[in-house]
Chains A and B, each alone.
Chain A
């Protein structure tokens, strides 16, 4: 059962305040994925404090990097269930986990940070990994 929208709103805001666009429906996801040019990052947001509490600040720090993706979007796992399932359907060989972060270049999945690469680490550690990917693939 999805969490209360009131509980989740601050967790949504933490990303949307950075300019991250939320994908709320499967159609939103398809629209995002159909544009295959450039670099894109998709954040699977999550309520879980064990890991998401570091994922969102990690994204915030990473987006302060000089190079960053052309587009950054999110789906909220456990909340926007259909949109999340649609997003995961684009890489069916990767086990579902949330929070997690996918990075695409010209439509190809280049990098995936699963939940276990977030949990127990600091926001700075998460940001460092993301920024390294940005530096390598973004212009």
Chain B
């Protein structure tokens, strides 16, 4: 994967990512920055297991095809609550 033009930021800056948390949330948003302490997402949306009628896999599938609605302008996730971080569209 090529880096974006902002070489002073993390490698994922400007890249839309999937953040699986250690809880029941999965976030999708554009990574602004990430380090050992936190992950910062912009224009993000979240799926919470058990909420709504759409399963996590369905929600992620739709996100992978079309992106997500920017329901959260900026989200800061504590790194200790992050189980995995990957680029959207690179689902196993």
Determine if B16 and A95 form an interchain contact, defined as CB atoms under 8 angstroms apart: no
Q: Shortest distance in angstroms between A61's beta carbon and chain B's nearest beta carbon?
A: 15
Q: Shortest distance in angstroms between A103's beta carbon and chain B's nearest beta carbon?
A: 14
**Chain B count of residues within 8 A CB distance of the other chain:** 20
A50 at the interface (CB under 8 A from B): yes
Neighbour of B89 across the interface among A48, A49, A112, A116, CB < 8 A = A116
Neighbour of B2 across the interface among A94, A95, A112, A122, CB < 8 A = A122
**Chain A count of residues within 8 A CB distance of the other chain:** 20
A117 at the interface (CB under 8 A from B): yes
Using known A-B contacts A116-B88, A120-B1, determine if residue A50 contacts B70 with beta carbons closer than 8 Å. no
Neighbour of A120 across the interface among B69, B70, B87, CB < 8 A = B87
Q: How far is the CA of A53 from the CA of B2 in the complex (A)?
A: 12
Q: Shortest distance in angstroms between A89's beta carbon and chain B's nearest beta carbon?
A: 15
A128 at the interface (CB under 8 A from B): no
A97-131 near B? 1/0 per residue, CB < 8 Å: 10000000000000010111101111000000000
A96 at the interface (CB under 8 A from B): yes
Determine if B89 and A119 form an interchain contact, defined as CB atoms under 8 angstroms apart: no
Collect the chain B residues with CB atoms within 8 Å of residue A122's CB: 2
A contact set with B: CB distance below 8 Å: 48-51, 53-54, 93-97, 112, 114-117, 119-122
